[in-house]
Structures are given as C-alpha cells and as structure tokens.
Amino acid sequence: MSGGTSELVIQLRDVHKAYGSGAGKTQVLRGVSLDLEAGEIVALVGQSGSGKSTLLNIVGGLDTADSGRVEVLGLDYRRARDRELAQLRNERIGFVFQAFNLLDHLSCVGNVLLPASFSRHHEHDPERALESLRRVGLADLAGRRPAELSGGQKQRVAIARALFHKPALLLCDEPTGNLDTDTGREVIELFGDINREDGVTLLIVTHEERVSSAAKRVIRIEDGCIIEGEAVLENATRADRDRARNARDGAA
Amino acid sequence: MMPAGKLVRLVGRNAVRNRRHFILSGFGIVVGIASFVFFLGLSMGVRSWVLEMFPIDRVEVIAPRTALVGALGIEAQKKLDDGIVEQIRKHDGVAEVVPRMAIAFPALGVWWYQDTKLKFDVVGDGIDPAYLKGDKNVELFRDFEAEREARGEAPPTCGPAPKFRCPELHFCDTRRMTCHHRIPMLVSRKLVEIYNTQFAKSRGLPVIGAMEEFIVQRGGLSKMRLYMDLGATMIEATTTSLKAPPRQIEGVLLGINDKAIPIGVTVPIGYVKRWNQEYLGEEAATTYSSIVVRLTDKDDVGPFAAWIEKDLDLRLQDSDGKQFALVIFVVTIFFLLISLIIVTISAINIAHNFFMQVSERRREIGLMRAVGATKSDIRAIILGEAALIGLVSGLAGLGIALLAGLGFDLVVPQFLPELPFQPDSLFNFYWWILAGGLAFSVVFCILGGFMPAHKAAQMAPAQALVQQ
C-alpha cells in the first residue's frame, strides 16, 4: 500500500485499449488501473500479448488509451496537447527498448544527444552526453558507432540516452530481452543504481524472473487485466481483482 | 516546433546520411530548373535584343496614301503636321511624340570608300536631336545651322578658288560660297547589316564590325564624310519639279543608332525642314513623313491604334518588334511548359521517394517521437529535407543553366550567319529569373514532400517503434 503523502508518478484509471475494428478487434487492455509512486522500481510481468508493452506505451505517451484516465508526472493525457506530451517525453521520461533503437549513422555521443535536438530548453551539449555515458560506464566508447558495440554496450548507450535529460521516470520495455545472462544482470544492477542514486522511478516490462526479483513491486498482467500486485491501488482494487479473476477463469 | 538551428543540423545530417537518395530525388529537379532558367534567360536575352532593335513601346503613326479617285489617278494623303503632333501629344498614355520628316526631293549621295567613289540616290529623314537623348555618340547630332542663326552670326565665306577653304569641320557651299558646319548623320544597324551581307560580300569589301572601331580605322570622324548633291539624282524618270538648283553639302557620319531611318541617313530635322522649304516649298517643310509615339505602357498599343484610326484617320506602321516579341513569347511559353512538366514529374518522384523513405525510417521516426519530437517536428524534418533537396538541386540547376548559357554563347555564333551587331550574350539571366528558379525548385520539392511528411507526422510512435 502506498503512503498517503507519497508523490504519485503514474495514475491510471480504468484504461481500455483495443486494436483493430469489427470482427478483428482485439481488446488489449481491459480497464486497467494503477498507481506508481516516486522512487519505485516496478516490474510489469506477464506473458506475450498480455498487454504489458501496450500499457507501457500508453504511460509513455507513445500510444493513446481508448478510454480511461492517464496521468503521468502531473500531466493529464486527455487534456495534454502534442507539444506538452512531447516535452514530457523529452525532459521527464526516459525510454529503454529491447531492440535498443540506436541510430546506426550516429556515434554513441550522437545517439545520447538525440533528445537535445528536440529540447526547447537545453543546448546541444556533448559534455553532458559524455557525462551520461560516464554514468553507464561507456565514456571510453563515446566516438564509436553502434555497429562496433556489443549488445550490452548498446543497451547501456540507450540507457545513457534515456538519462540525458535526468528524467524522473524510466520506462523500460524488455531491457534485457536481447542480452545474455551476465550482461542482463549488469543492466539490472545499473537500473538499481539509477533508482537508488538518482531517485528515478522505473517501470520495467519484463517476462524474466531475474528482473522482477530486483523490483520493489511486481505487477502481473494477464489478458489486459492486472491480476497481482494491485494492492497498492486504493480505489480500483476490487474491480481489477474481479476482472482479473474473471479473465483467469475464462482463460482456464 | 524545435529550434531552427537544431532542425537545420538534423536535416543536414540526414542529407549527408541519405545522399544517394537525395541525389536520385534531386536529379529531375536539377534538369527541370536548369532548363527553366536556361530557356527563360535565353528568351529574355533574345527578347531584349529584338526589342532594342524594334521597340514595341514605340509605334510609328503614318498617313496612308489612298487612291481617292482611282479612275482619275488622284492620290489623297492626310497631312501629318504640328496640329496632329499636338493632338497625339495630348492623348492619354502618350509619353513622347517625335515627328520625322523625310527628305522629300531627290538627293545624290557620293561616298569615297576604299579609294572608290560610290554614288547612290539618298533616302533620308530628319529627327529632333532631343529624341536621341541618352544614346551613345550623339553629342554632335546637333543643328549647327540653327545654332549659328540663333547666335545671329552670318556664315563665313569660303576661301578663294580652287580650294574654297573653310574653318575646320566646315565645308564650302559652292553655290552660295559660304562655309557651313558638316551635317551630322546617323545610319541604322539594319543598313550596315545590308551593307555587310549584300554589298560588301558581292564587292569583296571588308564588313563593318563595330562602327566606332571602323571609324577609327578609317582615320577618325572627319574622314567619314558623305557628300550629298541636293536636288540631283541618277534616276532619269524623276518628275519632281524643284524650286532651287542643285548644290552640294557635306555630312559626317557619327555612328549607328537604332532610331535612324532603317535604310538611309538621318540628320537633325531642322536641316530637312530647310531643305524641303528650299526645294519644294512651305507645304513640304511642314509635312511630316511619320510620327514616332512612345507610350507609357506597351499594353496600350491596341487602344491607341484604335484611336489613331477612328479619330485621326491615320494608321500605325506594322511593328516587326511586336511580331518578334509574339514569336519569342510563344516559344518561351512552350519551353517553360516543358520545364514545368519536368519539375512536376520530379516533384512526384520526390513524393514517391519520400514515401519510401518514411516507410524505411519508421523506427527512426518512432524513436524521435519517443525522445521528444512533436508531430510538427517530424513534419518539419521531412519538409526540411525536401526543401534542402530543392535548394541544392535548384542551385545545381542554376549553375548548369549559367554554364550552358556560357557555352551556348561561345559555340552558337560559329553556326549563325555573320551578324556583327549581335549582343555579347544571347542570355539575360535577371536576378528574378535566378531567384524564381530557386524558389520554384524549393516550392515544388516541399510540395512533393508534403504528403509523406504528413504521413510521418501522423504515425503512431508505438507502432513505428516495433517495425522490423
């Protein structure tokens, strides 16, 4: 249960999302409600197609909910304009993807600097990018291209990019999915450091136990409903629990 | 939208990265803009060359000769006099009115050239020296007789026979035994060309290039003299009855001027008035052969012609310039249409290429959205890349057009008939043609990139990011 005075970084209420239309319509999220407090590390676990990545994208403003309320870092997405959402992603949210999503034609520094290209408030500052790379232990490889890096190094560069504007929230989608066990562990340790030292809130989508074990809280999602870890909710607990139970029963 | 400096940096980086795509996209634009600028520059150059010779803002009013009573053999012609000149001068849209007066009686020209005595019946007219204001080498195109009379001076008498000496630049009128300043004369470019292409060729004489050079080679202005026997002719059938016996005057050729009579010599109008008075009487001395009218707007030629015909019962002489200008206009429009088609097809090609690019760069676009790009930013990046293609291709097109123009000027004259008075360049690349070509290129490329840019901006970032 969250403390009553803690700052809520994420607030979702009865969020629905479907893809397609007519007979081909697939309901991905079925009334998800969720609160995340500042400083948490939360693992969002579930099987493929359970809706966890969709939920993460909606939280990050990369996708839109069909209905329900989404409020992240004080910004109500229903009322937010594209410019405000973009500014939030630029300055206060960092993304880490399974596929790294580095631009091959840019060096490590260039990739880390990418968010600066869209910032209205920060200059194109390579020194700051180097600082980010130093934070993930890759300052020595600043001039290299992604093709010259290992998978773990690429993911560290992606994390450095996500940290460039010192975000309050880090959204990670299967960050260790393309890494071997040892490298994956290093990345998880890095997330722990970032959370501990910088106070960054992390929401990590994963299906790996080793990641969820490092989280302070694990939320399990199945068929678009949260079925575990919802105790933190104050208002939507019962509804979610019922929905989850129904979904589980239906699946069985 | 993102700051302009950052947008430029990003667009420039993308251009370097995708240079092959940029070159392929821009190729058609380069060809289109090069042909657009080349043909427009050529058209403007030829047009101004033609209009310099046949100005279309100047029309010439004439009184047509009509067989009034054909059976009786009577010809009627309305008199062009000072009254008509005043009427025209007061008409709306008329900027300048210059009457011309033909030498209305026979005159025999004698010109010593290459130690050969050339004799010919002279056709000539007179114009007001003020009409030539601002032209080159016309400072001496003055009515020296009128100036002397205005000073109240009598003409000096000639020296004793047989030399009849007179002051420098003067000749002796042996009938009156008085000295008079040589009469300034101008000839037209057309006359010199006829001399070069017809007369000189058939007689093995040198062609005249720049008249000024020719004058220097011949020993300066004082050597370019033309003698005229007023009242004399080689044509035996002449029936004009003259009021005075022949006398010889001496003229000096000042140079070439397009306002001179096309075939013949032109002198200050005061001389012609006095000669016509002397040989034919008052009527001839007050009748103009034509009236040159400059209009404030060349588009007023139509209404002016209608007025001249209806109210004054006069006509406008056919203008070669107008016909040339029409032909040039039609040819120019034809080539500009071809250029337009090339550029349009290129813009469609750019749209196609950018659609492919947007599709290939979905993940990159999704990533840019994830790290803070707005829809407007994505649109601006794609349009910026299109504009850059337009700018670079446009500049390349301009460069090619200018170089092609240079090459054209060097090569083409070798294949043209000898035209000594053709301009140094057949092209007029006005600044507005260059600026217009560049703007045309950029605008068409932006138009080509518009739909792909919109598609990219509307792409859902989450879906773009999962592209394989």
Cβ contact, residue pair A57, B462, below 8 Å: yes
Smallest Cα distance from A86 to chain B, Å: 4
Residue B291 confidence (pLDDT) = 92
For B59-88, how does the pLDDT look when each residue is reduced to its tens digit (9 = 90+)?
888 888 765 555 555 666 788 999 999 999
User: Which two tokens mark B250?
Assistant: 């001496």
With 0-12 CB in 10 A as exposed, 13-18 as middle and 19+ as buried, what is B245? exposed
Cβ contact, residue pair A116, B373, below 8 Å: no
Residue B84 confidence (pLDDT) = 92
Span B181-194, mean pLDDT? 85
Cβ contact, residue pair A86, B372, below 8 Å: yes
Span B233-257, mean pLDDT? 84
Helix (DSSP H) and strand (DSSP E) numbers for chain B: 15, 15
- Taking contacts as CB-CB distances below 8 angstroms, the residues of chain B near A167 are none
Residue B218 confidence (pLDDT) = 56
- Taking contacts as CB-CB distances below 8 angstroms, the residues of chain A near B363 are 101
Query: Residue A64: what are its φ and ψ, rounded to 5°?
Result: -115, 145
- Taking contacts as CB-CB distances below 8 angstroms, the residues of chain A near B378 are none
3-state secondary structure chain A: CCCCCCCEEEEEEEEEEEECCHHHCEEEEEEEEEEEECCCEEEEECCCCCCHHHHHHHHHCCCCCCEEEEEECCEECCCCCHHHHHHHHHHCEEEEECCCCCCCCCCHHHHHHHHHHCCCCCCCCHHHHHHHHHHCCCHHHCCCCHHHCCHHHHHHHHHHHHHCCCCCEEEEECCCCCCCHHHHHHHHHHHHHHHHHHCCEEEEEECCHHHHHHCCEEEEEECCEEEECHHHCCCCHHHHHHHHHHHHHHHC
Query: Which of residues A124 and B398 earns the better pLDDT score?
Result: B398
How many other C-beta atoms lie within 10 A of the C-beta of residue B158? 20
Residue A181 confidence (pLDDT) = 84
For B282-302, how does the pLDDT look when each residue is reduced to its tens digit (9 = 90+)?
999 999 999 999 888 776 777
For B435-454, how does the pLDDT look when each residue is reduced to its tens digit (9 = 90+)?
999 998 999 899 989 999 99
DSSP B277-319: HHHT-HHHHT-BSEEEEEESSGGGHHHHHHHHHHHH--EEPP-
Of all residues in chain A, the percent with pLDDT exceeding 70 is 88
Kindly tell me if the per-residue pLDDT of A227 is higher than 60.
Answer: yes
> Whole-angstrom Cα distance, residue A94 to residue A175?
13
Kindly tell me if the per-residue pLDDT of A251 is higher than 70.
Answer: no
Residue A234 confidence (pLDDT) = 39
Query: Which of residues B57 and A98 earns the better pLDDT score?
Result: A98
Kindly tell me if the per-residue pLDDT of B239 is higher than 90.
Answer: no
Kindly tell me if the per-residue pLDDT of A231 is higher than 50.
Answer: no
Count the residues in chain B.
Answer: 468
Contact predicate B456/B379, CB 8 Å: yes
Kindly tell me if the per-residue pLDDT of A76 is higher than 80.
Answer: yes
Query: Which of residues A241 and A235 earns the better pLDDT score?
Result: A241
Q: What is the mean pLDDT of chain B?
A: 84
pLDDT-wise least confident of A236-250, B31-45, B132-146, B411-425: A236-250
User: Which two tokens mark A232?
Assistant: 């933190």
Give the three-class secondary structure for B36: helix
The closest CB to that of A62, out of B2, B370, B377, belongs to B370
Residue A244 confidence (pLDDT) = 43
- A contact set with B (CB within 8 A): 54, 57, 60, 62-64, 82-83, 86-87, 89-91, 95, 97, 101, 103, 105, 114-120, 124, 161
pLDDT category at A1 given cuts 50, 70, 90 is very low
Cβ contact, residue pair A57, B373, below 8 Å: no
Cβ contact, residue pair B9, A124, below 8 Å: yes
Span B173-194, mean pLDDT? 86
Residue B266 confidence (pLDDT) = 94
Count the residues in chain A.
Answer: 252
- Letter for the amino acid at B63? A
CA B387 to chain centre: 37
Cβ contact, residue pair A118, B370, below 8 Å: no
> Whole-angstrom Cα distance, residue B458 to residue A146?
28
Of all residues in chain B, the percent with pLDDT exceeding 90 is 34
Per DSSP, B206 falls in state P
Span A139-163, mean pLDDT? 92
For B93-110, how does the pLDDT look when each residue is reduced to its tens digit (9 = 90+)?
899 999 999 999 999 998
> Structural domain boundaries of chain B?
4-55+324-465, 59-318
Smallest Cα distance from A5 to chain B, Å: 30
Smallest Cα distance from B356 to chain A, Å: 18
- Taking contacts as CB-CB distances below 8 angstroms, the residues of chain B near A91 are 372
Residue B45 confidence (pLDDT) = 86
pLDDT category at B422 given cuts 50, 70, 90 is low
Residue B333 confidence (pLDDT) = 85
Kindly tell me if the per-residue pLDDT of A245 is higher than 60.
Answer: no
pLDDT category at B213 given cuts 50, 70, 90 is low
Task: For B10, name the nearest residue in chain A, comparing CA atoms only.
Answer: A117
Smallest Cα distance from A97 to chain B, Å: 9
The closest CB to that of A63, out of B367, B373, B460, belongs to B460
Task: For B369, name the nearest residue in chain A, comparing CA atoms only.
Answer: A86
Q: What is the mean pLDDT of chain A?
A: 85
Cβ contact, residue pair A114, B368, below 8 Å: yes
Residue B127 confidence (pLDDT) = 94
- Taking contacts as CB-CB distances below 8 angstroms, the residues of chain B near A116 are 6
Contact predicate A52/A44, CB 8 Å: yes
Longest dimension (CA), chain A: 55
Give the three-class secondary structure for B41: helix
Contact predicate B181/B144, CB 8 Å: yes
Smallest Cα distance from B363 to chain A, Å: 8
> Whole-angstrom Cα distance, residue A98 to residue A179?
9
Residue B295 confidence (pLDDT) = 86
Smallest Cα distance from B6 to chain A, Å: 6
> Whole-angstrom Cα distance, residue A170 to residue A203?
6
Cβ contact, residue pair A89, B372, below 8 Å: yes
In degrees, rounded to 5, the angle at the alpha carbon of residue A244 between the alpha carbons of residues A234 and A57 is: 75
Kindly tell me if the per-residue pLDDT of A37 is higher than 70.
Answer: yes
The closest CB to that of B372, out of A87, A97, A103, belongs to A87
Kindly tell me if the per-residue pLDDT of A55 is higher than 90.
Answer: yes
Smallest Cα distance from A214 to chain B, Å: 26
Task: For A125, name the nearest residue in chain B, comparing CA atoms only.
Answer: B6
